[in-house]
Amino acid sequence: MKSIAPSRRAVVAVCAVVLYALVSRVALRSLPEGAALKWAVGLPPVLIDLALCWVFGRSLRHGAEPLITSFARHAHGGVLPPDRTAYTRRVTLLWTLLFGAMAAAAAWLAAFGPLRAWKLFVTVGSPALVAALFLGEFAWRRMRFRYHPPQRLADMLQYLGLPGRQALPLLRLHAMDDAVARRRGQPISAAALLADAAALAAALPPGRQVLNLCRDRYHFLVGFAAALAARRLCLLPPGSGDGAIRDVCRDFGELCCVADHDDVPAGVTLLRPLGHPAAPQARGMPSFPAGQPAAVVFTSGSTGHPAPHVKTWGSLVRGALALGRHLGFGPSLAPQIIGTVPPQHMFGLEATVMLPLQWRGAVDAGRPLLPSDVKAALAASPEPRWLMTTPLQLRACVDDALDLRGTLRGVISSTMPLDAKLAQAAESLWHCPVEEIYGSSETGMMALRRSASGPTWTLCEGLNFETVGGATRVRGGHLDAPFTLTDRVELEGGRRFRLLGRIGDMIKVAGKRASLEDLNARLRAVRGVNDGAYYMPDGASRPVAFAVAPGASAPSILEALRRDVDPVFLPRPLYLVDALPRAANGKITRDGLEALLRRMSAR
């Protein structure tokens, strides 16, 4: 991908078409007869058609992006599948040929035809041809890509800079000397972030999207802000493995990579986040259009191949504002955020990047993994402090009896279901609320609950349910478009609901059905089991399961399950493993479980 937004030539082309129609309809309609006058007024329409032919045709040259492709890519958030890329290239060629033919026809009529025929062609024929192609292509596109959301006029207005454009600041409440990050307790100011981001933005290779692989959270902030300033997509791969990153490089073409380490794909231009020559900065706080595509996050791949999802700047800002208001943030609070989840994950992006940017917060630059690392990061940050983590890391801290009393204002957990008993243990140990986010890569957060208090979720600010064709959708709030839930829900009135399991995770054994998510929760609830997962191989009649349980045996685990699970769903067999193949975000893919099953079966 060379660019996510239409070229400025597109603006010239649109304005020229409008001007052409006005001149043709108003000025030329009342022309008297006369060859000299015919040539005097006949040349401008020919030149306008030729100019439009040149603008559209020039974008078809090798290495350039076709004009219609640019518009379509921007309207669909910066990502266009190969079939639509090829289609929009053909449409650009069609417009090129139309304007070329219209220029030739107008010139021939001006030179050899009667003035009346020329006037009729210029005032009626040409606009009719343009309208026919525009409307005909629109109708054909709606049929050909009827399962794709239509382009919205508001997105084009935001790019063109016409009235209705809303600009949202990078830092909403920070003063220039306020801390935006801390590294081992040392503050890094907002002014430093803006200077580092401007320098990196100036160093980015022209036209390339930004693959942000930074592990240090401040370095990630610099890469994210630089991509925004340069109007590039910030690509956030679904994992740190070579395969996941290769897939991103394959799908998005020529990239540049911003990383603070050397574990990057071969052949991709590497830039460090810091150390570039200083670059001029705009006065005041930089702001970006709400509709500007800001980042591409990927589904975890737990239910299939990871799929990209574009996040607009406005959507990310609205989500951060809603989360901050839920947590009781205010203009003078200056929250300190410590995160154990990588910023490339949707939860990490929302809770450890966007939340502090929009609420005068500062984020710890590190990524503490061990309980002792978490305690050290909290000790190095001033109050008030929030911990953004996962159930796995929460369990490690609780099992280690990590004493954090008086150091935390709250804990937010996400990426996988949080067991109510674990949440209760954490609250009892740390004397602060532990809340859980329900969300997805497609939507970001959708609902929250205090897991120790019950299974009921409450939709986030501004979101509402609707039922369409038997499916439950969420719309409004920070979402750019309605989203159909992939989980079965039980509505409890208003904006409260319970989750009943994923629609596609039901397995059937001996005529009985069960949810894999429920079976996993029951397995992980067995005393001595630190982690566990069921897996139903293709074509199998019974599920298998894997358990990480250093202090337990397979028979004891099965005996505990027998008291809580229908016998037909007892795993055959149950494998004891050292670890499950979880990604950095805590998710497990079906491919990962299949590979683990092959290894265990071969023993």
Q: What is the pLDDT of residue 357?
A: 97
602 sits in the region (left: phi over 0; alpha: psi -120 to 50; else beta) called alpha
Pairwise pLDDT comparison (433 vs 291), residue with the higher score? 433
CA neighbor of 310 nearest in space, from 127, 155, 459 = 155
Same fold, 176-501 and 506-601: no
- Whether 159 contacts 6, CB under 8 Å: yes
Rounded Cα distance between 442 and 361, Å, is 25
What are the CA-CA distances from residue 598 to residues 91, 156, 488, 603 (Å)?
49, 51, 31, 9
Model confidence band, residue 576 (pLDDT cutoffs 50, 70, 90): very high
Residues 6+ apart with CB under 8 A from 227: 201, 204, 209, 210, 212, 233, 234, 294, 295
More confident residue, 83 or 39: 83
pLDDT tops 50 at residue 7: no
Predicted confidence at residue 540, as pLDDT, reads 85
What is the per-residue pLDDT for 43?
Answer: 75
Mean pLDDT of the chain: 84
Say which amino acid occupies 437.
I
Q: Is the pLDDT of residue 185 over 80?
A: yes
Compute CA distances 183 → 95, 139, 390, 406, 446, whole Å: 55, 55, 22, 22, 31
The per-residue DSSP string of 122-138 comes to IIIIHHHHHHHHHHHHH
Query: What 3-state DSSP class applies to 255?
Result: strand
The pLDDT of residue 154: 45
Mean pLDDT of 402-426: 93
**What is the predicted pLDDT for the residue at 140?**
86
Structural domain boundaries in the chain? 8-160, 176-501, 506-601
- Section 564-569 average pLDDT: 87
| Candidate from 58-67, 180-189, 417-426 with smallest mean pLDDT | 58-67
pLDDT for the residue 11: 52
| pLDDT score of 580 more than 60 | yes
26 CB-contact burial (10 Å; exposed 0-12 / middle 13-18 / buried 19+): exposed
What are the start-end ranges of the E strands in 199-273?
A: 209-212, 234-235, 255-258, 269-271
Lowest mean pLDDT among 31-45, 79-93, 113-127, 480-494: 31-45
Using alpha carbons, select from 374, 232, 217, 239 the residue that is nearest to residue 298.
Answer: 239
| 486-505 mean pLDDT | 83
- CB count, 10 Å around CB of 264? 15
In the structure encoding, which two tokens stand for residue 300, read together? 């975890």
Give the HSE-up count for residue 268: Cα atoms under 13 Å, Cβ half-sphere. 27
Residue 155 has pLDDT above 60, yes or no: no
Instruction: Tell me the average pLDDT across 217-223.
Output: 98
Confidence band of 280 (pLDDT split at 50, 70, 90): confident
Residue 511 has pLDDT above 80, yes or no: no
pLDDT, position 162: 41
Question: Token pair of 596, please?
Answer: 């683990």
Rounded-to-integer distance, Cα 389 and Cα 185, Å? 20
Give CA–CA dist 98/111, Å, rounded. 20
Q: Residue 602: in which H helix or E strand, if any?
A: none
Q: Which pLDDT score, from 0 to 100, does residue 240 have?
A: 62
Q: CB-side exposure of 544: number of CA atoms within 13 Å? A: 17
Q: Is it the case that residue 524 has pLDDT exceeding 70?
A: yes
416: confidence class by pLDDT, cuts 50, 70, 90: confident
Straight-line distance from the first to the last Cα atom of the chain, in angstroms, rounded to the nearest whole number: 46
Q: Which of 31-40, 106-115, 151-160 has the weakest average pLDDT? A: 151-160
For residue range 338-392, list pLDDT tens digits in order. Answer: 999 999 999 999 999 999 999 999 999 999 989 999 999 999 999 999 999 999 8
Q: What is the pLDDT of residues 10-54, one digit of tens each?
A: 555 555 555 555 555 454 444 444 555 555 566 778 888 999 999
Element (H, E) at 316: helix 313-326
| Cβ atoms 377, 401 nearer than 8 A | no
- The top-scoring range by mean pLDDT among 74-88, 206-220, 298-312, 574-588 is 206-220
Q: Are 522 and 563 in contact (CB under 8 A)?
A: no
pLDDT score recorded for residue 305: 62
Helix/strand/coil for 40:
helix
Q: What is the pTM of this model?
A: 0.68
C-alpha to C-alpha distance for 533 and 463, rounded to whole angstroms = 32
The radius of gyration of the chain from alpha carbons, rounded to an integer in Å, stands at 29
Over 69-92, what HEC string results?
Answer: HHHHHHHCCCCCCHHHHHHHHHHH
Residue 389 to residue 372: CA distance in whole angstroms:
14
CATH annotation of 506-601: 3.30.300.30
What is the pLDDT at residue 157? 45
Structure confidence at residue 163 (pLDDT)? 38
Q: What is the pLDDT of residue 5?
A: 40
Split at pLDDT 50, 70, 90, the class of 248 is confident
pLDDT at position 151 is 47
Beta-carbon count within 10 A of 375 CB: 17
Of 85 and 228, more confident: 228
Q: Which CATH superfamily is domain 176-501 in?
A: ANL, N-terminal domain (3.40.50.12780)
What integer pLDDT is reported at residue 556 of this predicted model? 94
